[in-house]
Amino acid sequence: MNKMTTPRAAARTVDEITGSRRLRRMRKADWSRRLVRESHLTVDDLIWPIFLTDGTDVREAIPAMPDVWRLSVDNAVKEAERAAKLGIPAIATFPQVDPARKDVTGSHILDPDNLINRATRAIKHAVPEIGIVTDAALDPFTSHGHDGILRDGVIVNDETVEQVTAAAVLQAAAGADIVAPSDMMDGRIGAIREALDANGFQDVAIMSYATKFASAFYGPYRDAIGTRGLLKGDKKTYYIDPANSDEAVREAEQDLLEGADMLMVKPGLPYLDIVRRLKDEFAVPTFAYQVSGEYSMIKAAAANGWIDGEKAMLESLLAFKRAGCDGILTYFAPAVAEMLRA
């Protein structure tokens, strides 16, 4: 094809002739950079994942995740209050379940008074203005750390969907605004939508962990909820192969057809190409989860003085916006909110 037939190619040629294009012109001052800035990070973009544990007035450090804690419900309520004051729209809860309550099917997820549901009720009561996202997944509850029911070495799909669906209804009953199934079983979104509607929870939204990849970046999270030592094998039979992008699009399409209100890509930064593809393809609310390993890498490098932690944090979050995210689940949420407010 003749290069001159496209306007861009034509412009490039004119530039070459005249030398008139100087992209540094708009970079020359703070005012001009602000004027042409394409993406912005605001507090409205943040969902804050927090970890729950049993007890009262507990605030346990997680060594691999500096400045992140496991919180008893009373302290989770305090943090939710702080988040609401900072303007963070929503929090997402993840429980460290007492090992004595774990079994092969993760049956404790069906206890209306389990840690997630108790926390939801307490937070909803004390801080009704903040959105609550609950993780409808079995892994904190199973003795083997998998997101599904394990029978004869196989994660059984339909039985897992049934259990996760029942759990999602209990989470909605406790006051969850958004249920977020993260197990990657086939058919879970449709089943959950139907059950929520049948139980009068038409207004409870579903954020699908639509494209969850079999990733090494979840390591610190598994320490945080105590599943690292338990997990036998890996999650490759249900999470997506990190090599695949078309498959991620098909997975997201399926979840939207089944009734997902929002899509999520997980992990985040290594998968920004997936965010962009989904946003371009479907134009629906699209989120990414900047997962524990991504957080820990920035914190560790900063602690060693190898990078500027605050700048790296802000740049990583802005990259999500540029890639097409409407919001980001990030352990940095309160730190960012404080900075954006200052």
Q: How far is CA 263 from CA 42, 237, 259, 295, 306, in A?
A: 20, 21, 11, 21, 34
How many residues touch ligand PBG (CB under 6 A)? 11
Which one among 135, 177, 223, 251 touches ligand PBG, defined by CB under 6 A? 135
Which one among 48, 221, 271, 332 touches ligand PBG, defined by CB under 6 A? 221
Block residue for tokens 């394990």: 150
Q: Is 182 in the site for ligand PBG (CB under 6 A)?
A: yes
Structure tokens at 301: 């490098």
Residue in the shown chain whose Cβ atom is closest to ligand PBG: 221
Q: Is 188 in the site for ligand PBG (CB under 6 A)?
A: no
Known catalytic membership, residue 212: yes
Core vs surface per residue 36-67: b (16+ CB within 10 A) or e = eeeeebebebbbbbbbbbeeeebeeebebbee
Nearer to ligand PBG, 79 or 139 (CB): 139
* Distance from C-alpha of 272 to C-alpha of 266, rounded to nearest angstrom: 10
Block residue for tokens 């992209």: 23
Give burial (CB, 10 Å; 0-12/13-18/19+) of 333.
Answer: buried
Q: Is 222 in the site for ligand PBG (CB under 6 A)?
A: yes
Which one among 141, 218, 238, 332 touches ligand PBG, defined by CB under 6 A? 218
Give burial (CB, 10 Å; 0-12/13-18/19+) of 275.
Answer: buried
Cβ–Cβ under 8 Å, residues 332 and 317: yes
Q: Select from 267, 269, 308 the least CA-distant residue to 291.
A: 267
Site string for ligand PBG, 14-33 (x = CB under 6 A): --------------------
175: left (phi over 0), alpha (psi -120 to 50) or beta: left
Q: Is 137 in the site for ligand PBG (CB under 6 A)?
A: yes
Instruction: Pick the piece of the chain touching ligand PBG (CB under 6 A) from 110-118, 160-168, 218-226, 271-279.
Output: 218-226
Q: Is 235 in the site for ligand PBG (CB under 6 A)?
A: yes
Q: Is 287 in the site for ligand PBG (CB under 6 A)?
A: no
Q: Is 139 in the site for ligand PBG (CB under 6 A)?
A: yes
Say which DSSP state 241 is in: P
Instruction: Pick the piece of the chain touching ligand PBG (CB under 6 A) from 25-33, 78-86, 216-224, 275-283.
Output: 216-224
Q: Is 292 in the site for ligand PBG (CB under 6 A)?
A: yes
Catalytic, out of 102, 124, 236, 266: 266
Q: Is 96 in the site for ligand PBG (CB under 6 A)?
A: no
3-state DSSP assignment of residue 73: helix
Known catalytic membership, residue 266: yes
Q: Is 223 in the site for ligand PBG (CB under 6 A)?
A: no
* Distance from C-alpha of 50 to C-alpha of 271, rounded to nearest angstrom: 22
Q: Is 255 in the site for ligand PBG (CB under 6 A)?
A: no
Site string for ligand PBG, 141-170 (x = CB under 6 A): ------x-----------------------
Active-site amino acid positions: 212, 266
Residues binding ligand PBG (CB under 6 A): 135, 137, 139, 147, 182, 218, 221-222, 235, 291-292
